[in-house]
Amino acid sequence: SRFETCWPALMKDSHGVIIIFNPELPSHLKEIEMWYSCFVQQQPLLDSQCLLVAHHKPGSSEDTENLSLAYPLNKLKLIHSNLEEDPEDVRMEFMKYFRSIITIINENREREEMSIIS
C-alpha cells in the first residue's frame, strides 16, 4: 500500500484502533487480518482496544449480518453499522468503546505514576 510509510507515525502513541470494512467484499475480510496484525498485534495493543465495524450499505444483502470471522479476529468486538436502520445503536457502541479506551488510558497512567513513586 502507498501509505505504509506513514503507518509508524499513525501508530505512534495510539490508544485504539477502529477497523471499518464492507462484509460483502471477500477481499476486505482478508485485509482486516493484515490491518489487525499491523496495527494491533505489532503495537502491541490489547484486543479490547480494537473495534471492528462491519458497515452495511443501503440495500445490501442481509446474509452478512451473522458474520463469522476466523481466529484471531473472532476475539474482537464486532458491531454492524447500518446507518439507515439503527444509527443510535452504532452511536451507543462507539460511546461504550471510547469509554473503555479512556479507562485503559487512566489505568495505565495510574500504573506509571505508582511506578515513579515507588
pLDDT, tens digit, 9 for 90 and up, residues 20-68: 999 988 888 889 999 999 999 988 899 999 999 999 888 776 666 678 8
- Model confidence at 79, pLDDT cuts 50, 70, 90, reads very high
pLDDT at 90 over 70: yes
- Model confidence at 15, pLDDT cuts 50, 70, 90, reads very high
pLDDT at 1 over 60: no
- The answer to whether the beta carbons of residues 64 and 54 sit under 8 Å apart is yes
How many angstroms separate the CA atoms of 102 and 118, rounded?
A: 24
- Model confidence at 107, pLDDT cuts 50, 70, 90, reads very high
Is 77 strand, coil or helix? Answer: strand
Which residues, in sequence order, are CB contacts of 80 under 8 Å at separation 6+?
Answer: 23, 53, 54, 56, 65, 67
- The answer to whether the beta carbons of residues 63 and 26 sit under 8 Å apart is no
Query: pTM of the predicted model, to two decimals?
Result: 0.83
Indicate the average pLDDT of the chain.
88
Instruction: Using alpha carbons, select from 10, 71, 20 the residue that is nearest to residue 42.
Output: 10
How many angstroms separate the CA atoms of 44 and 56, rounded?
A: 29
Residue 21 has a pLDDT of 94
